[in-house]
Amino acid sequence: MAEKSYTSAVSQAPLLGDTIGENLDRAVARYGDRQALADLPSRRRWTYAELAAEVDALALGLLGAGITKGDRVGIWAPNCAEWVFTQYATAKIGAILVNINPAYRTSELEFVLNQSGARLLVAAQRLKTSDYAAMIAEVRPRCQRLEQVVLLGGDAWTELLQAGRRADPGARAALRAIGLSADDPINIQYTSGTTGFPKGATLSHHNILNNGYFVGELCNYTHEDKICIPVPFYHCFGMVMGNLAATSHGAAMVIPAPVFDPAATLEAVQAERCTSLYGVPTMFIAELAVPGFDSYDLSSLRTGIMAGSPCPVEVMKQVINRMGMTEVSICYGMTETSPVSTQTRLDDSIERRVATVGRAGPHIEIKVVDPATGLTVPRGAPGELCTRGYSVMLGYWQQPDKTAEAVDAARWMHTGDQAVMDDDGYLSITGRIKDLVIRGGENIAPVEVEEFLRAHPDILDVQVIGVPDAKYGEELMAWIRMRPGAAPLTAQALREFCQGRLAHFKIPRYVHITEEFPMTVTGKVRKVEMRGKSIEMLGLAR
């Protein structure tokens, strides 16, 4: 009988039973005088003892403002030290942090504030051309539960911190005495859905603290590490795999810029002697393309994480060979699983790290099932990836029906991703089940075509989508970013490149040359938006 596509991972390290605040206090006790956080744009830095003082002051300020356990506190800001303070301060008092995508605009902001029932909002005043203060003022009359708005750098923010610093010993004792459980909800993250309103994945201390910790364990983090975090705190990649992985190991968090800037990221690695660097593939592509890339001293790097979307083989090889990240790890996950479910290991071969997303993380089960029957498929057969364990969310905030659609009665999270498990338990993600293009009865995984086209010497990056076709049902279209100085590719030239090397039905019929792809703030390509634009461009609406 063929072995089934099921596996689980054990660990010599047990699951943590702490709350986030307790775990931070442990780090402070051990590493108080070591650097915890560097906010390079503002030229500020904090030791663990200094970070704890800021966190406790803000926690006391929030308590004084009437925020208590279970209340929702929104945060709408780019990466900055104040984001970190708010993350840990809300955890200290048991308030539920509501992460709001910095790219949201008024309708989305209004929806999230109302759906979560946020009582207080911490927000940046503005970012580039985005006037956050004005947008908040516009929606606030329609957000009945929103009682307080605290703008970073404004008087209300200063008063929150000052009130906490002035608190008497009795108030500080009360902070320590708040009755919190590791299983309490502590974070709501709205999934970046491409249709309809987003859903609020609700995560506990236990979910995200353990995920950050075990991701860090597999990266071999210690208090000597410095992690450069250009990915957004709004998402699990930044606040869990970045911040919580760091503080659970006594490592340092380094903020290179408020939003992703490839040159600033390389400068941060060089200046701070970072040992680890995070990013989605598009970020690493941009960093490798920075003019004068080879002049940056990146010799301190040993590890890092590439995740968020399928990792191109050639990009991964350059990250290892040109950036020196010989221990770079590939992670796979989703917001609803805190986020990481699978990860490559330090002793995995380069082939494993470029061709798979690793195997199950510690204390996590994974299986691949037939989407039609729910039965586990044999090793080597494609199906839907499911994951179960400490990392699975509590549910979607106030949406039990949506929760039941995603998490079954046995607590398996159905990811919606198509995967194949090999004989050793390693997974390859072959695409989104709903993203499969069906052309004339042939199922095509866009990621396979993308990997092939990235081998073209003039292509910097590519995304493949399906568009309607009267004859075949769907046809492939490639959105292509050209390398600097390269002439734009035509559909005919691309076809000649593919001829004889790729099955005919996998060759894109249409080509669109672009400077950039529509992206979410977390670096994921918005393929539904691309499809809509493509249908309009090609006149395929029907």
CB 439 within 8 A of CB 475: yes
Q: Looking at residue 353, what is its pLDDT? A: 86
The β-bridge partners of 57 are none
Average pLDDT on 94-122 reads 93
Q: Looking at residue 195, what is its pLDDT? A: 40
Percent share of the chain, pLDDT over 90: 79
Phi-psi region of 470 (alpha: psi -120 to 50; beta: other; left: phi over 0): alpha
434: pLDDT strictly greater than 80: no
What pLDDT band is residue 50 in, cutting at 50, 70 and 90?
A: very high
Quick one: CA dihedral 73, 75, 76, 82, positive or negative? positive
282: pLDDT strictly greater than 70: yes
422: pLDDT strictly greater than 60: yes
Round to whole Å and give the CA distance between 468 and 474. 5
Q: Looking at residue 193, what is its pLDDT? A: 43
Q: How high does pLDDT run on average in the chain?
A: 93
Q: Looking at residue 521, what is its pLDDT? A: 63
What pLDDT band is residue 437 in, cutting at 50, 70 and 90?
A: confident
310: pLDDT strictly greater than 70: no
Window from 58-62, 239-243, 414-418 with minimum mean pLDDT = 414-418
Percent share of the chain, pLDDT over 70: 98
CB 184 within 8 A of CB 209: no
Which of 79, 73, 72 has its CA nearest to residue 102?
A: 79
Residue 391 CA to its chain's centroid (Å): 15
Strand ranges of the sheet holding 6-8, from the earlier edge strand across to the other edge: 6-8, 364-369, 383-389, 413-421, 427-432
493: pLDDT strictly greater than 60: yes
Average pLDDT on 43-63 reads 97
Outline where 340-434 has alpha helix (H). Answer: 350-355, 400-406
Which of 508, 408, 396 has its CA nearest to residue 463?
A: 508
Tens-digit pLDDT profile for residues 503-534? 788 899 999 999 999 987 667 788 889 999 99
CB 241 within 8 A of CB 191: no
218: pLDDT strictly greater than 50: yes
Round to whole Å and give the CA distance between 18 and 187. 16
- DSSP 3-state of 203: strand
DSSP annotation of 130 reads B
- Residue of higher predicted confidence among 541 and 486: 486
Average pLDDT on 307-336 reads 88
Window from 65-74, 139-148, 157-166, 277-286 with minimum mean pLDDT = 277-286
* CATH H-level, domain 436-538: superfamily: ANL, C-terminal domain (3.30.300.30)
Strand ranges of the sheet holding 510-513, from the earlier edge strand across to the other edge: 459-469, 473-482, 510-513
Q: Looking at residue 522, what is its pLDDT? A: 64
Amino acid at 76: W
Round to whole Å and give the CA distance between 242 and 425. 26
Which of 413, 452, 450, 447 has its CA nearest to residue 433?
A: 447
196: pLDDT strictly greater than 70: no
Q: Looking at residue 192, what is its pLDDT? A: 55
Residue 82 CA to its chain's centroid (Å): 19
DSSP-assigned letters across all residues of 435-452: G-EEETTEEE-HHHHHHH
CB 152 within 8 A of CB 124: yes
Q: Which residues contact 403 (CB under 8 A, 6 or more apart)?
A: 395, 396
Residue labelled with tokens 């510690």: 362
Window from 171-175, 223-227, 305-309 with minimum mean pLDDT = 171-175
Average pLDDT on 236-264 reads 98
Q: Where are the domains of the chain?
A: 47-180, 436-538
- Does domain 47-180 fall into CATH 3.40.50.980? yes
